[in-house]
């Protein structure tokens, strides 16, 4: 349905036919456009059920946040409610275990708030990591001066020294 009606008047006279376009008054047009998103959602039957379900989930989420201890609140969220079963997603298994322990307390609080909750399903839905991947940084190899210094040190050490053998291996790896 268009947001406003367009009225066409066809006027005939001897010199020809003219078409006159008339818009409805501005105030009526403004009233039609001023509906809120909530009114549009509730106006359609399918969207009305969806809006009511979303509103119920928001109420469950608010109640869940009042029941859970402060450290767990950011890690648990209400995912769905169907046939008396509420589904809660947590960010890790430790939080899921604690939410399962608090199950009866959560169920009684949620039942009194909106609808009859008979069962609680808890699952882990880890969110993707927001931390950027660390790229491998290849270690900086010694420059020519350092290689010359290591070579000079190896020459001055006794030939049976374990330190001399280690420095010789290091020089061999660095020069390759």
pLDDT single digits (tens) 96-117: 999 999 888 888 888 875 578 8
Average pLDDT over residues 150-176: 88
Phi, psi of 120, deg, nearest 5: -120, 125
pLDDT single digits (tens) 37-62: 666 656 666 677 777 888 888 888 99
List C-alpha distances in Å: 101 to 81, 111, 147, 175.
20, 17, 63, 61
List C-alpha distances in Å: 70 to 2, 3, 61, 89.
49, 47, 14, 17
Per-residue pLDDT, 1: 47
CA distance 73 to 128: 18
- How do beta strands 85-90 and 76-82 pair? antiparallel
pLDDT at 3 over 80: no
What is this structure's pTM? 0.49
Average pLDDT over residues 124-129: 75
Per-residue pLDDT, 165: 92
pLDDT at 14 over 70: no
pLDDT at 67 over 60: yes
Average pLDDT over residues 144-168: 90
Can you tell me whether residue 89 is helix, strand or coil?
strand
Per-residue pLDDT, 57: 87
> With bands split at pLDDT 50, 70 and 90, how would you rate the model's confidence at 163?
very high
pLDDT at 147 over 80: yes
């Amino acid at each position: 349905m268009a947001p406003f009606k367009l009225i066409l008047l066809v006027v005939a006279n001897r010199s020809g036919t003219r078409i006159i376009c008339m818009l409805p008054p501005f105030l009526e047009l403004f009233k039609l456009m001023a509906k809120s998103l909530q009114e549009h959602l509730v106006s359609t039957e399918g969207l009305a059920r969806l809006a009511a379900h979303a509103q119920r989930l928001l109420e469950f989420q608010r109640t869940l946040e009042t029941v859970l201890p402060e450290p767990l609140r950011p890690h648990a969220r209400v995912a769905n409610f169907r046939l008396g079963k509420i589904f809660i997603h947590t960010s890790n298994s430790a939080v899921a275990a604690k939410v399962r322990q608090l199950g009866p307390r959560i169920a009684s609080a949620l039942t009194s708030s909106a609808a009859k909750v008979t069962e609680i399903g808890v699952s882990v839905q880890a969110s993707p990591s927001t931390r950027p991947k660390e790229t491998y940084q290849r270690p900086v190899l010694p420059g020519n001066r350092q290689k010359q210094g290591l070579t000079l040190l190896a020459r001055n050490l006794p030939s049976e020294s374990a330190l001399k053998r280690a420095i010789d291996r290091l020089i061999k790896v660095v020069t390759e």
